[in-house]
């Protein structure tokens, strides 16, 4: 699939907690829509999501070695699956 909009699975404490309930979290490209995420998940993992939520991650100001900078931010998608379906992200 040449036009994949999913960057990587988001592995955080919250993401692993909600994964037990059939909800998976992915980092996605900034201009991606819910339909594009659904097609990418179907193509990569062979499961059909029942619902998708998209959340913007704001950029954050940081200080590194005394200099001011920013963490870039981005977008993440919550992918809801039917009960009993799983995604193997490894």
Please, what is the Cα angle at 79 between 3 and 6, to 5 degrees?
25
Give the model's confidence band at 87: pLDDT under 50 very low, under 70 low, under 90 confident, else very high.
confident
- Residue 77, pLDDT score: 95
pTM: 0.83
Rounded average pLDDT over 69-85:
92
- Residue 89, pLDDT score: 58
Reported in sequence order, the residue ranges of 4-83 that DSSP labels E, i.e. its strands, are 6-9, 23-28, 51-57, 60-64, 67-71, 74-80
**Domains of the chain and CATH, by start:** 6-80 (3.30.70.330)
pLDDT in tens, 20-50: 888 999 999 998 999 999 999 999 999 999 9
């Amino acid at each position: 699939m040449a036009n994949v909009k999913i960057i990587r699975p988001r592995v955080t404490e919250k993401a692993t907690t909600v994964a037990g309930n059939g909800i998976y979290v992915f980092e996605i490209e900034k201009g991606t829509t819910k339909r594009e995420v659904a097609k990418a998940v179907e193509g990569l993992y062979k499961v059909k999501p029942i619902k998708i939520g998209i959340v913007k991650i704001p950029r954050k100001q940081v200080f590194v070695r005394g200099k001011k900078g920013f963490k870039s931010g981005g977008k993440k998608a919550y992918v809801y699956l039917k009960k009993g379906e799983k995604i193997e992200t490894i």
